[in-house]
Amino acid sequence: MDNRENLLDIALSLFSQRGYEGVGVQEIVETAGVTKPTLYHYYDSKRGLLDTLLKREEGRLLSSVLQASVYKRDIVYTLENIVRAYFDASKSHPDFYRMQIAMLFAPPESDSHLAILPFVSQQYEIIEEVFIQAVQDHGNLRGRHKRYASGFLGTINAMIGLSLEGELDLTKELVYLTVHQFLHGIFS
Amino acid sequence: MDNRENLLDIALSLFSQRGYEGVGVQEIVETAGVTKPTLYHYYDSKRGLLDTLLKREEGRLLSSVLQASVYKRDIVYTLENIVRAYFDASKSHPDFYRMQIAMLFAPPESDSHLAILPFVSQQYEIIEEVFIQAVQDHGNLRGRHKRYASGFLGTINAMIGLSLEGELDLTKELVYLTVHQFLHGIFS
DNA sequence: ATAAGAATATACCGATCAGTATATAAAGTC
DNA sequence: GACTTTATATACTGATCGGTATATTCTTAT
């Protein structure tokens, strides 16, 4: 009966279904079986609740991506690790992953976007660094790290998007196929 | 002084900055210099206003994508046309394109998502059909049209995303690079 | 000129928004 | 047992939400 933690769980579930802006504080506390002052005792605002929630959930994903992104002079191996990290994250916490994407593409000035941006930016920078490191072994990648990091994440999210709609399974083969297609194109 | 049309323009500008759900009817009419009954004289609800707006804006994009997607047994040519169509759309109406993406990734039950879904689905199906057609000339593409359509659009939107953040220019070269990378990978 | 319809405004509706003032209960500390 | 801190509830605030009842003006057709 930990109200503090329970409120986070309830909020995650509601936010991922209908969005941060689309869920009222009243609904959160009612679903959790408490009243408003209880929520405002633990968190100083609705936004504060969201920030705490994101810190908890993003921490897991971020450390997973960070671990997968260590470049040991094998670009195929590293990229496969990254794809696997993202696929695993979206499989074990699909609601949260959906919410992360929705918040990223929310209007630039919205609380949603502003709250998620630092976390997603970190992810992006970690991936970008891989392509920067890879230049030492693949000179022709030089100067294109922005495009590659963005395109790679775009491809990953396209696959995850399909799987969230039930159109696709995030299998081991798909990890290989995704990386292979990114590196060698759809013709090879 | 066409209030009917002017309300659409104002709504587009406000919605693309702060989202459909984030903008009140009051603000729309105040910015347009009219009052609520005027808006409700022309449109039967806030959602009706959005639907009319989307029909007007998406019509342009959709016909442009449709025209670019005629497959004449040259996959490179067709894909370049498609990328060009999207780049042009986002360059000439960046606000609207940003709004389209935000609405697509909005929570599944939200008005935003439900309103944009049919239009984006049409775009997706058009692209998917290209990859289905291309099988007649490139047999190894068979059965992968969902993944390819989604991945291709994901790549396009990744590039547009970078350009909307000012990180990239949607040049003619980038049209070529995007298609070439999709077909042959980043190694070639 | 007059009637009819379209276009607009003033002023309001109930519901919901995030947040709080105040009081009370429970738990831990001395 | 007395006191303090933590945790909770009742009941409220002003602002904003989408939408409307009613009245008036403007335009057009007869």
Please tell me the distance from the alpha carbon of residue B56 to that of residue B61, in angstroms, as a whole number: 10
Are A137 and A75 in contact by the 8 Å Cβ rule? The answer is yes
Kindly determine whether residue B150 and residue A141, on different chains, have CB atoms separated by under 8 Å. no
Distance B43 CA to C6 C1' (A): 14
State the nearest Cα–Cα gap between B29 and chain A, in angstroms: 21
pLDDT at A83 over 80: yes
Give the Cβ contact number of residue A118 at 10 Å: 10
Please state, in angstroms and rounded to a whole number, the distance separating the CA atoms of residues A127 and A150: 9
Better-scored residue on pLDDT, A28 or B188: A28
Give residue ranges of A with CB < 8 Å to any B CB: 16-19, 21-22, 101-102, 104-110, 138, 140-141, 144, 146-148, 150-151, 153-155, 157-159, 161-162, 167-168, 177, 181-188
Which contacts of A176-179 are long-range, i.e. CB under 8 A and separated by 24 or more positions?
A: A176/A80, A177/B147, A178/A83, A179/A76, A179/A79, A179/A80, A179/A83
CA–CA dist A30, A182 (Å, integer):
47
In the structure, what pLDDT confidence band is assigned to residue A167 with cuts at 50, 70 and 90?
very high
CB contact under 8 A, A161 and B150: yes
Q: Average pLDDT, whole number, for chain A?
A: 97
- Does residue B105 contact residue B161 with C-beta atoms inside 8 Å? no
pLDDT at B59 (0 to 100):
96
Instruction: Write the pLDDT tens digit of every residue in B138-158.
Output: 999 999 999 999 999 999 999
Strand C, nucleotides covered by protein (CB < 7 Å): 7-11, 16-23
Res A61 pLDDT > 90: yes
Q: Rounded mean pLDDT of A91-110?
A: 96
Look at residue A8 in the predicted model and tell me its pLDDT: 97
Burial class (CB in 10 A: 0-12, 13-18, 19+), A112: buried
Instruction: Tell me the pLDDT band of A58, cut-offs 50, 70 and 90.
Output: very high
User: ∠A70-A72-A78 over CA atoms, to 5°?
Assistant: 60
- Categorize the per-residue pLDDT at A40 as very low, low, confident or very high, splitting at 50, 70 and 90: very high
Which residues in chain A are closer than 8 Å to B162, comparing Cβ atoms? 146-147, 150
Residue from B150, B159, B168 whose CB has the most chain A CBs within 10 Å, to mutate: B150
Whether the per-residue pLDDT at B1 is higher than 90: the answer is no
Measuring CA to CA, which residue among B156, B146, B118, B152 is closest to residue A168? B146
Q: Going by C-beta distance under 8 Å and a sequence separation of 6 or more, which residues neighbour residue A180?
A: A188
- Span B52-102, pLDDT tens digits: 999 999 999 999 999 999 999 999 999 999 999 999 999 999 999 999 999
pLDDT, chain B, mean: 97
Report yes or no: A103 and B107 within 8 Å, Cβ to Cβ. Answer: no
Q: Where are the domains of chain B?
A: 3-184
**Residue A1: is its pLDDT beyond 70?**
no
The C-alpha angle A147, B93, B161, rounded to 5 degrees, equals 20
First and final C-alpha spacing in chain A: 56
* Homologous superfamily in CATH for domain A3-184: Tetracycline Repressor, domain 2 (1.10.357.10)
List protein-proximal bases of chain D (any atom < 7 A from a CB).
7-11, 16-23
- The Cα–Cα gap between B5 and B2 comes to 6
The pLDDT tens digits for B118-134 are: 999 999 999 999 999 99
Q: What is the pLDDT of residues B20-46, one digit of tens each?
A: 999 999 999 999 999 999 999 999 999
Nearest to A86 by CA among A179, A163, A157: A157
Residues lying close to strand C (Cβ under 7 A), chosen from 31-50 of chain A, are 36-37, 40, 45-47
Question: Is the distance from CB of B103 to CB of B118 less than 8 angstroms?
Answer: no
Angle between helix axes A46-68 and A3-18 (nearest 10 degrees) is 80
Entry field: residues in chain B: 188
Q: What is the CA radius of gyration of chain B?
A: 19
Mean pLDDT of A23-43: 97
Measured CA to CA, the distance from residue A25 to residue B87 in angstroms comes to: 40
